[in-house]
Amino acid sequence: MEDIVFGIDIGTTKICALVGAVRNREMRIIGLGMQPSAGMRKGMIVDVPSASVALAAAVEAAEETSGYQLSQALVSIAGEHISSTNNSGLVAINRNDDGVTAQDIDRALETAQAIPIPSNRQIIHLIPRHYTIDDHAGVRQPLGMHGFRLEIEAHIVTGATSALLNLKHCTESVGIRAEEMVLNALASAEAVLEPAEREMGVLIADIGGGTTDLALYKQGTVWHTKVIPIGGHHITNDIAIGLRAPYEVAEKVKIQYGDCRPADIDPDFVFTVEPFGGEKIQVGRQDLAQVIEARVEEIFHLILKDIQQTGYDEYLPAGLVLTGGTALLRGITDVAERVLNVPTRVATPKNLVGLVDSLHSPAYATSVGLLRWAAMDHHRYQPHIQAPSQWGRRVSSILRTLLPE
């Protein structure tokens, strides 16, 4: 028997809905729906009706290609409202011949998540970093081990309740219940990171349209996460302002001629742009690259500042892995290596099977990663006590009936 999993990546630039069939942890993509985003800004919903219409179109396409009527999904989440912290929990191990039990781990997780959280925020992920049994530190799987005290060190990701409710409202308005919300960077890591990288120490940076989502892995698990509210849209906006051209024109220029290495560009290379007013102008590709380089450098300096502040800048022997649509910019790894002084690679989703022709791109790492997340055993990454949903599940979708055939 196959398990059917559904993931929806609601990004600033696009909405990608994927359906996967899982058997023995092997996944095959059987449904795909993509739609330009609407009502989104910096990874957050700012217009629920517009976002819902775009989401409905993506969901319907995924249902049509997969042949399944879908009712629940894993949904990506990003935005500058995301924050994280680390905390530890300590419990006495129940006296029995079986050693540490699942109940002991649950109790330790409960104590670890007992941190003061404002009423307008809630826990999204509770991620065990490692365990300590008595004086035996660095334990990764404590089940069955014997001792008197079990201590867990956990990474806790929280988000603004209002942003989470807006996202739930959006999905439920098209008949989909958000079964679980997964941070963009964590989903992307499932699609692109190698086990050896996670073990040695690696930073993944998913540079999307509105945000740059970070996750640092060490000893096989997540140690740090961060969302930086700058992404590819800011690069495009810089180009639009410099050229005095519409945003759509600037985006096409970025994709066709964009580069992060002005020193490597022929200074005589020019191209034609039609700015506001309609009179075409000649633009030097080297000048364009200087604009792009400045903003890309800013993004990597912000990444460097974050890992230096957390003290993890020495924890990256496997370097930096770039994904997200902005990772497609020519020369972006050169800038990253110059600023962060670590090896850098651009990663695409690996080991894809099924309807995957359009998914071999860094832009779809989060989308594919959501399905991989669903296929793996990640229940421990959720808070032990879920906050009750404030939105009832809607059986039918009003918006879907309004969409044209």
In a domain, 300, yes or no: yes
pLDDT at residue 381, rounded to an integer: 44
Please report, for the domain that includes residue 140, its CATH number.
3.30.1490.110
Percent of the chain at pLDDT exceeding 90: 80
Q: Are residue 207 and residue 130 in the same domain, yes or no?
A: no
Burial of 12 (0-12, 13-18, 19+ CB in 10 A): buried
Taking each helix axis from N to C terminus, what angle separates 285-310 and 332-340, rounded to the nearest 10 degrees?
40
Q: What mean pLDDT is predicted for residues 236-255?
A: 95
In a domain, 184, yes or no: no
Q: Is the pLDDT of residue 252 over 60?
A: yes
Q: Is the pLDDT of residue 54 over 70?
A: yes
Q: Are residue 286 and residue 203 in the same domain, yes or no?
A: yes
Cα distance between residue 18 and residue 8, in whole Å: 6
In a domain, 394, yes or no: no
In a domain, 372, yes or no: no
Which residue segment(s) compose the domain that 201 sits in?
Answer: 194-346
In a domain, 259, yes or no: yes
In a domain, 377, yes or no: no
How do residues 288-321 score in pLDDT, each as one tens digit?
A: 999 999 999 999 999 999 999 999 988 999 999 9
Please report, for the domain that includes residue 276, its CATH number.
3.30.420.40
Q: What mean pLDDT is predicted for residues 363-377?
A: 90
In a domain, 29, yes or no: no
Mean per-residue pLDDT over the chain, rounded? 90
How do residues 206-225 score in pLDDT, each as one tens digit?
A: 999 999 999 999 999 999 99
In a domain, 21, yes or no: no
Last residue of a domain, one of 142, 160, 178: 160
- Of the pLDDT bands very low, low, confident and very high (cuts 50, 70, 90), residue 377 is low
Q: Are residue 143 and residue 203 in the same domain, yes or no?
A: no
From 87-101, 173-187, 188-202, 228-242, the region with the lowest mean pLDDT: 87-101
How do residues 155-171 score in pLDDT, each as one tens digit?
A: 999 999 999 999 999 99
